[in-house]
A and B are shown apart, each in its own frame.
Chain A
Amino acid sequence: MKLQHYLGGLEGLGPVSTETRVFVEPWEKRIFGIHTAMMALSSQLPLPVTPSTFSTVWTWADLRKGAESLNPFDYFRFRYYEKWLGGICGYFIAHGYITAEELDALTEDYYAEPGKALPSAGEEAIDARIVQYLVDGDSPKREAAVSHAFAVGEEIVVCDVPTIEHTRLPGYLRNKTGTVETVYEGAYTYLCDTGPDGIGAAMSVYCVRFDPATIWPGNAEPNFAIYADLYAHYVAARASARQAA
């Protein structure tokens, strides 16, 4: 378990941020742009091959794995795009695209001379593919015939699957009982195989309604409901909830 997976409902945190800006430092825009370019050039997408030397997979799952793998104290210490910067630098080093030494050395150069120009290079086809990715997206929906195990109105129990590296199951819902609100048509893949956590292959997705009073007895506000979209592997019939192995 990682604290990052269990944020919902934590107590004693003080006031929320009401900051409406998307970026609070100019540099944050650059790491956002790099991340999005990487997603667009990721090798699994059915998009035209370009001269880019990027030859591996980079999706949201990779970015999320980086944040979820952090020591929780670092997770809360670093601002949103600081986590992105650390995770993306680490990925390029781990995959041998760059070395830590050359990144550190060049960081010192730009630190000493922030206005120093970036290199000029690159084929237009690379940027055309980036735009095409933004327009086309990367739908996880599959039309394959699926029989949905649950119908609207049925009660389910959320499973307590083992989570090692990455999950899409909010921790506060584990072992809780909810009611199916929507059965989404078709089946949905996830961006990667999450191993023993159990998602990746195409499966049903349900929107499930939970009564907060059953999640946080005596400690939830009245007259509200919480809904979550849950992959089928995370839900079971009430009498037979899967337990962690």
Chain B
Amino acid sequence: MADQFKYREDREAYSAARVRALEALLIKKGIITDRSVDTVLDYFETKMGPFNGAKIVARAWVDHAFKERLVADTPAAIAELALPEGMAGAEGEHMRAVANAPGVHNLIICTLCSCYPWPVLGLPPYWYKDPTFRSRAAREPRAVLKEFGLAVPESTEVKVWDSSAQIRWFVVPERPEGTEGLSEAELEALVTPEAMMGVAGAA
């Protein structure tokens, strides 16, 4: 039984060598090319990522009618903006946005795996994939949010959305106070992936 919980001493070096061996074999056997992995990674650096979500949220903050359309028909509202192509692409085919408001706080989770809206948020951070987070957020979201440094009073209703089918979710956080004079570009800088999943506010 004790062996069950042991790791190799060279855990990371071994995994690094194994993934490199796998990539080398896949290239050699004509499954992928020597550029395939970098092609994927470049795409997430430049086309799909939280920089898109930040633009969507900033627009929702300055344009209330857009925010209403975003919540009512998320893909159609996103299509109004000048974002890279593919906003309804892989892992964003069917997205749904929920908006925080006074008295309502939303939190997105995936208890079965790590479903995440790629086009607007990129790839999920480790906290989202953590089995402890996935377990506890379903039953005690306020205690979990407190560990992220976000205090949500009992008077605020928390809505937890478990991504168990093919819909991908994100949160429109509330616009921070004192940001009336900021431009849309300046507002984008206030929006983090954590705020768009509901474990932080925008600040």
Chain A contact residues, CB within 8 Å of chain B: 4-5, 7-11, 13-22, 24-27, 29-34, 36-37, 39, 41, 51-54, 60, 64, 67, 73-77, 80, 82, 85, 88-89, 92, 97-98, 102-103, 106-111, 114, 118-124, 126-127, 130-131, 133-141, 167-170, 172, 184, 188, 190, 205, 207, 212, 215-216, 219-231
Contacts and interface: CB of A to CB of B under 8 A. Distances in A.
B132 A141 contact: no
- Does more than half of chain A's interface fall in helix, strand or loop, or is it mixed? mixed
A195 to B, nearest CB: 17
Given A10-B135, A77-B4, A134-B43, A34 B122 contact: no
17 contacts: A7-B138, A10-B136, A16-B144, A21-B126, A37-B36, A64-B113, A76-B131, A80-B114, A89-B18, A110-B16, A123-B33, A170-B112, A170-B138, A216-B139, A223-B157, A226-B162, A228-B162
B126 A229 contact: no
B156 to A, nearest CB: 7
Q: Report the contact-size class of chain B (Cβ under 8 Å from the partner).
A: 35 or more
A13 B135 contact: yes
Contacts of A223: 154-158
A138 B41 contact: no
B20 A27 contact: yes
Interface string B167-203: 1000000000000000000000000011000000000
Nearest to A225: B159
Most central of B4, B12, B22, B193 by chain A CB within 10 Å = B22
Contacts of A169: 164
Nearest to B124: A22
Interface string B95-122: 0000000000000000111100000001
A184 B148 CA distance: 32
B134 A92 contact: no
Contacts of A228: 161-162, 164
A132 to B, nearest CB: 9
